[in-house]
A and B are shown apart, each in its own frame.
Chain A
Amino acid sequence: MTLDSPSVTSVEDGSDPSPIGDTAALAGARSRAVTDERDRRPSSPFRQRLSRLDNRLSPYLYVSPFFLLFALVGLFPLLYTAFVSVHDWSLLGGQGDYTGLENYRRVLEDRYFWNALRNTISIFLLSSVPQVLIALVLAGLLDTQLRGRTLWRMGVLIPFVVAPAAVALIFGNVFGDRYGLVNEALQGIGLEPIKWHVNTLASHVAIASMVNWRWTGYNALIFLAAMQAVPRELYESAAIDGAGKVRQFVSVTLPLIRPTLLFVVITSTIGGLQVFAEPRLFDTQGLGGSDRQYQTLTMYLWELGWRVRDLGMASAVAWLLFLIIIVFALVNLAVSRRFGALGGRR
């Protein structure tokens, strides 16, 4: 297959006068395909045939690497995990007998599964909600005429570049129960130290703050990109109508970046429900504390697979987690639809 296909603006088969922009290019390609069909002659020369094939096939070819890779590293593991989850399967011993849904039953009967689900949702809420809100405000502030704009904008991305393991190490010192930075500060001003690793809610807050520290800047940059696409005239007219900065942000910026908002909410939901590195590295045992008070679903999966060495049960957890994420994503979608994020102009 050759890659020197005619560019999308070629008018070889008399397509419409092309407007600019990529939607137009797509439309062009579509209408070309239609004319193509109409023009077909039984004895068309080889070249023409090839170019027609090219036109039709190239778009698929261009996107195919992603789907091929997805099939290899996404779909295959997904299906294989499903296969493992209905078998007795030990980490070192390998495949055992077919057991049907036995692994799922054992997982659903295990109190640590429900405990992990509670922790995951709690950490997810404590991280995703403030994260999106702070990122929005941060992006709004970065979208102004600051001196050294690029510096500030790049600055918010720095935490994202730091490896999670290093983040966990730093925050481990900050949130030490006895000799941690926060507690020493609290004691310095006469307050009771907080048992960050013992108290369930405190541990969730500490872990969520690690997640937030890492992801807020990243999300802020995505919001910033969307905000810069908002036509400046709208702000001018809003200003003329007497809207202040806050009012402009709420009534102009937010409605216009809704699709991006939806995107960030969905990606941070998926990420938030899979949180692993931060709680895993929050102590040295990696089981989520003495009472598993911060064991998340992915950590529970890991414990079953690598400590208990039962890959069958671990795979069942993986599938349950997959289903939970789908449910959450659908709820997100439904909620956002209601608010018209996707229903509007496209």
Chain B
Amino acid sequence: MHTRKTRRARLVTGALMALTLTMTAAACGGGDSDDETADGKIKLTVATFNEFGYEGLIEEYNAMQDDVVVEQKKAGTANEHQDNLYTKLAAGSGLSDIEAIEVDWWSALMEQSDAFVDLSDPELDGRWLDWKTEAATTPDGELIGYGTDIGPEGMCYRADLFKKAGLPTDREEVASLFADWDSYFEAGRQFVKKMPKTAWYDSSGGTAQAMINQTEYSFEDEDNNVIAADNADVKAVFDTITANAADGLSTGLTQWSEDWTASFQNDGFATMACPGWMLGVIEGNADGVEGWDIANAFPGGGGNWGGSYLTVPAQGDHPEEAKALAAWLTAPEQQVKAFEAKGTFPSQVDALTDPALTGATNAFFNDAPTGEILAERAEAVPFIPHKGPKFADINTAYQQAIQRVDEGKESADEAWQSFLADVERLG
């Protein structure tokens, strides 16, 4: 009995091995390449999130040359895009030929700079604002990403609701209400007294984000030590925002949630911090709503929220072609067109004086001269806040703590304590 078993086992093993070999051979033979189209052109993919305004540009690029066919992959949110990016970076394959990267995640990925192609090119020196390029340059002098847009913030507001609440509606007059955070919140208290069903701003998280972005060192110091727990500025923003929520200034919703999107259609709030790229988002969510306008002012002077880079992952098959495409997409002329399409504000020096940009108006925002306003808002940005490798993680915990207070799950004190525990946990 025993010998029979072993003999059988041997046979089975042999058969399994034979079958495995057959299957492996079949798998190898069956592979066909997906980076070429039927007529032999190279296929390049560009992965972006939210709205980059690239649809028209990609058509234009496809029409103007015969070697490459470009396709865009759009993710709904930056988070979703980021998860995909991490997963495929870790796996070592599967990324698009060009991957957009949002500035909040930038420094975590800079630590993996080997995974990206060095894009430095003497011809492109001076194309971008200095701080935009500096942030994308490794200590060894490699340029990892080409800047796309920046996020100089203006303040968007609903002139129709302002009128109902007895506030000024004219762009210039409104600007004085938004001179600093105190006057902005004070106007909000007046507003919600008259209009109790409408909040003053869209979300606590978005407003806190705007304030954090005006803090040079918020969660990490210049050596990337975590200082979130002891930083008085971080605590001050937290206290202000949670106190405002208690006064009814906030919708209490989180940005990008279904309720938040729906609140654009329900007079849910009257103002929101809006970087250039947010204009397209507002226009989409508030489709059919009349009364939106944008003031040439931002509490606390100026601020930058977001903005992205295009990178070329080293794992791609066509780095040269991808690099050429990325350079073309981020050229001033193209970024001005992206701005016209979706309001993403260019990071290129020449684009800032382009008449197409400075003369741009936006019909949805009551024909506001958005180009001129955002260019001035960009000049008002005093510095770019430092965001180390842990910024995004700590910021998520910070936003969650604020959300817990909004939702009434915790008091402000409890939420702060649990935020501290979260920071501790992230190490």
Contacts and interface: CB of A to CB of B under 8 A. Distances in A.
Contacts of B403: 290
Contacts of A176: 258-259, 262
Contacts of B404: 290-291
Contact of B396 (A65, A195, A283, A287): A287
A291 B410 contact: yes
A198 to B, nearest CB: 4
Contacts of A110: 425
Contacts of B258: 172-173, 176, 179-180
A57 B409 contact: no
Q: From DSSP, what is the main secondary structure of chain B's interface residues?
A: helix
B8 A56 contact: yes
Contacts of A309: 86, 108
Contacts of A283: 254, 257
Contacts of B23: 68
B208 to A, nearest CB: 13
Interface in A158-186: 172-173, 176-180
Contacts of B263: 178-179
A279 interface: no
Given A68-B20, A283-B257, A307-B396, A92 B89 contact: yes
B409 A284 contact: no
A293 B258 CA distance: 18
A124 to B, nearest CB: 23
Interface string B1-26: 00010001001100110111001000
Contacts of B109: 92
Contact of A285 (B253, B254, B409): B254
B141 interface: no
A161 B115 CA distance: 38
A61 interface: yes
B15 A178 contact: no
B266 interface: yes
B93 interface: no
B266 to A, nearest CB: 6
A306 B88 CA distance: 11
B11 A53 contact: yes
Nearest to A60: B12
Interface string A40-61: 0000000000000100110011
B77 interface: yes
Contacts of B4: 37
A185 to B, nearest CB: 16
Interface residues of B, number: 44
A269 B113 CA distance: 43
A178 B263 CA distance: 9
Contact of A92 (B111, B406, B409, B425): B111
Given A283-B254, A284-B254, A92 B19 contact: no
B407 A198 contact: yes
B39 to A, nearest CB: 32
Contacts of A341: none
A285 B406 CA distance: 16
B222 interface: no
Interface in B393-427: 393, 396, 400-401, 403-404, 406-410, 425-426
A110 B18 CA distance: 47
Nearest to A37: B4
A198 B77 contact: no
Given A92-B112, A307-B393, A195 B407 contact: yes
A283 B259 CA distance: 10
B15 A285 contact: no
Interface in B370-413: 393, 396, 400-401, 403-404, 406-410
Interface string A258-276: 0000000000000000000
Given A60-B15, A61-B15, A177 B254 contact: no
B19 A64 contact: yes
A91 interface: yes
Contacts of A290: 254, 400-401, 403-404, 406-407, 409
Contacts of B240: none
A106 to B, nearest CB: 10
A28 interface: no
A286 interface: yes
A291 B18 contact: no
A67 to B, nearest CB: 8
A92 B90 contact: yes
A179 B407 contact: no
B231 interface: no
Contacts of A24: none
A291 B4 CA distance: 61
Interface in B248-298: 253-254, 256-259, 262-263, 266
A64 B262 contact: no
Contacts of A112: 425
A308 interface: yes
A176 B4 CA distance: 66
Contact of B257 (A37, A56, A284, A307): A284
A300 to B, nearest CB: 12
27 contacts: A1-B15, A53-B11, A57-B11, A57-B12, A61-B15, A64-B16, A68-B16, A68-B23, A91-B86, A92-B111, A92-B112, A93-B111, A173-B258, A176-B258, A178-B253, A179-B266, A180-B258, A195-B407, A283-B254, A283-B257, A284-B254, A284-B256, A290-B407, A291-B409, A306-B83, A306-B86, A309-B86
Given A60-B12, A64-B15, A290-B404, 10 more contacts: A92-B86, A180-B259, A197-B257, A285-B396, A290-B254, A290-B406, A290-B409, A293-B409, A306-B83, A306-B86
